[in-house]
Amino acid sequence: MNILVLGGGGREHAISWALAKSPRCTELYVAPGNGGTANIARNVKDLNAEDAQAVLAFAQAHNIELVVIGPEAPLVAGVADVLREAGIPVFGPDAQGAQLEGSKTYSKRFMDANGIPTARYQSFTDAASARAYCEELGAPLVVKADGLAAGKGVIVATELEQAEEAVRECFGGAFGDAGNTVVIEEMLVGPECSLLAFTDGKTVRPMATSQDHKRALEGDLGPNTGGMGVYSPVPIVTDEEHATMVKVMEQTVAELAAEGIDYRGCLYGGFMLTPAGPKVLEFNARFGDPETQVVLPRLKNDLVEVMLACANCELDQIELDWRDEWAVAVVLTSSGYPGSYEKGKVITGIEDAEAMENVTVYHAGTAVVDGQLVTNGGRVLAVTALGDTFENARNLAYEACEKIDFEGKTLRHDIGLRALRGRDAWDA
């Protein structure tokens, strides 16, 4: 069958890579795609993934039998609604379901209404009331732009002044319209853990756990980014914590269904493993990036079958099967990210890295210009390695990173280091 993937980041390269392996996949299109998807699929650069009518027209013209929506923006824009209405199977929730990610206020209200554990919060549309609540809560606290901000609209403030500055920035337009409403919440502490789940709106099949590293700098310092590195599974999660997270995911899908929301796709639960148990930091309406780059390489199932089962409400027919190996991915970024950075730097050494057994290099911000592979974004590549132990996977990923070069190449050298030292040493 012909399949269309929307998006052009590392997540979409990893999804496309897994779909392309399936014997059921005939022609694979990625819109817009990147320098990596160009090797395994047809990039459709001029299709605007957020334009539902254009996506529908493309799908109909190319006999597409499954559309996989990677990023949040087309989901929030209602692309899934239009395709589903036209009878095309879609992996990705409708606009209403995507609000769980598209509005933090909606998401927090949903959690409160359903008794899902999360940080205490309030939501504001004016700076004076927001500042008053900051003073009431006291530092440390977290300031979040309500809408979509590419992972950058969250400021963890250790001092009250920092929180007030963040409130000023949000209302001052630093995150565009996404900051017209601001959510302020208490700071939670503990290790983070992502649990992604496939769902068809009724059945929930949790994937393997993973852990992103959101901060730009080593030691979890610096500003939040889209994600600097990740591993799967997360060795420090207890069985009890895992059971709680799975319960939250199942409960969330059940409550969505009870509200009449038909959620088919990937539900992403971002958890903080606090001393009082796992609490939800956020829900996303899609796969994580870079979580996908370590989760999907460990999935043994045919991804086309799993995604079709979600789209067609037949997920109860499928059990997931995981490889025993550990996966670690290190993200190579352009110097300056998540602030401003240069593009167009020539990338070398990917073939050498991929010649290493158990190494795959997923492209994020890359493009082919005049026959040369060049940087085209802040997060450039995710270098994933599989290993029979966590340590081996980690060492292999870093060895592979050394083979790759481009001007301004930047990476965190401590991906997975805290987990390697164990839970007891986590806060030490």
Q: Does 100 bind ligand AMP (CB under 6 A)?
A: no
Residue 279 vs 403, nearer CB to ligand GLY: 279
Give the residue from 14, 108, 3, 7 showing the smallest Cα distance to 362: 14
| Pair 232, 208: CB distance under 8 Å | yes
| Pair 351, 366: CB distance under 8 Å | no
Q: State the DSSP code for 296.
A: G
Sheet of 90-91: strand order equals: 42-43, 28-32, 2-7, 64-69, 90-91
CB of 74 to ligand AMP, least distance (A): 19
Contact range with ligand AMP by CB under 6 A, out of 10-18, 162-170, 181-189, 260-268: 181-189
Among 11, 214, 394, 418, binds ligand AMP (CB under 6 A): 214
The Cα-based distances of 21 to 68, 90, 128, 198, 302 in angstroms read: 15, 19, 54, 19, 8
Q: How far apart are CA 357 and CA 403, in angstroms?
A: 14
CB of 396 to ligand GLY, least distance (A): 22
Q: What is the C-alpha radius of gyration for the chain, rounded to an integer number of angstroms?
A: 20
Among 18, 56, 291, 327, binds ligand GLY (CB under 6 A): 291
Contact range with ligand AMP by CB under 6 A, out of 17-25, 173-181, 183-191, 312-320: 183-191
Taking residues 193 to 212 in sequence order and writing x for each that binds ligand GLY by CB under 6 A, - otherwise, the string is: -------------------x
Residue 156 vs 261, nearer CB to ligand AMP: 156
Among residue numbers 130 through 149, which ones bind ligand AMP (CB under 6 A)? 142, 144
CB within 8 A of 379, min separation 6: which ones? 9, 10, 225, 226, 227, 289, 290, 331, 332, 333, 337, 364, 365
Instruction: Work out what residue 289 binds among ligand AMP, ligand GLY, none; the CB cut-off runs from 5 to 8 Å by kind.
Output: ligand GLY
3-state secondary structure of 355: coil
Q: Residue 232: beta bridge partners?
A: 327
- Identify the H or E element spanning 128: helix 127-137
CB of 117 to ligand AMP, least distance (A): 12
Instruction: Work out what residue 288 binds among ligand GLY, ligand AMP, none; the CB cut-off runs from 5 to 8 Å by kind.
Output: ligand GLY
Among 288, 365, 377, 378, binds ligand GLY (CB under 6 A): 288
Q: Amino acid identity, residue 261?
A: I
Instruction: Work out what residue 185 binds among ligand GLY, ligand AMP, none; the CB cut-off runs from 5 to 8 Å by kind.
Output: ligand AMP
Name the residues that contact ligand AMP, by CB under 6 A: 119, 142, 144, 154, 156, 185, 187-188, 192, 214, 224, 270, 281-282
Name the residues that contact ligand GLY, by CB under 6 A: 151, 212, 227, 284, 288-289, 291
